[in-house]
Amino acid sequence: MTRRPLAALLWLASCATPPVAPAPAPTSAPAASGLAPAAASSSGATGARPPVVVALVVDQFGAWVARERLAELPADGGFARLRREGTWVVEARHPHAVTDTAPGHAVLLTGAEPARSGIFGNELPVGNERLSILRDEATRLLGPAGKTDVVGSSLARLRVPTVADRLRARHPDAFIASVSLKDRGALFGCGRTPDACLWFEPGLDAFVTSTAFTTELPAWARAEAGAEASARARATPWTPLDPAWLSAHTRSPDDQKGEGDWWGLGRVFPHDVAHARKPATVFRASPVGDERVLALATAAARV
């Protein structure tokens, strides 16, 4: 049987990029509320590279943002490629009101609304705490150094199959991997029997997985998953790639009333992630986190 990999890359933010002439908009469809790249096809020839399906989710990337801003991005960039080669969905609506990450990712990757999926929010109130809806006391986190005492996450609360589950059922030898900055971004992409399901855990300052899925972190992920890799990535302050372009395309000054200083990340550029009061926490709110997700997803695609 041909090996059919599914790489589910859940990318939570994007960085500013310098201007290039915009890519032409598709003529077959109007402005989109969602973009989905078509799966690569296989030639079927012996030894041919198997198809790769990528699910890319950009948090808070609303339809109005796509309509207004995609044409301003580089013509040779990833979003321009989606415009050229992808399917433009004229109108895509979730059949539920809750816009939290977990229900949104669940409906995207199962087709089931919260009433059927069992995923109705990001967190559950437990005593005086609010804990992840995916927290599973029967599991433990696995980091680059092995099993920890930290409670892990699983899909125990999910009542329906995911796309990855259906892929596994049809193609048992498929390679399935999901990477995110949070468990609720990773788990719905990987399904119940992935080859890899990785997310960033600030308390360990590392990318981790759960004993719900495996007994150890994949060997190919360890070099990119540990605290040392995170520290190296944070060493360079976050600065705009093109300050002039950023200034021309933003609608507010860098420093304005109402802005906070989240854990010492700073109100204006450059933002020094390494010297924030909680570097591992603000890591997830910076392009540095995106870069680590991309590095791990790329490593998964090469397996």
Domain boundaries along the sequence of the chain: 6-225
pLDDT tens digits along 93-102? 777 888 899 9
Task: Residue 83: count other Cβ atoms within 10 Å of its Cβ.
Answer: 22
Separation of CA 121 from chain center: 18
Just give the CATH number of 6-225.
3.40.720.10
pLDDT tens digits along 84-94? 887 777 677 77
pLDDT tens digits along 128-148? 999 999 999 999 999 999 999
Q: Could you tell me the pLDDT band of residue 46, with boundaries at 50, 70 and 90?
A: low
Please state, rounded to an integer, the average pLDDT across all residues of the chain: 83
Q: Could you tell me the pLDDT band of residue 64, with boundaries at 50, 70 and 90?
A: confident
| Burial of 221 per CB tally in 10 Å (0-12, 13-18, 19+) | buried
- State the DSSP string of 253-277: -SS-TT---GGG--SSSSB-GGGSS
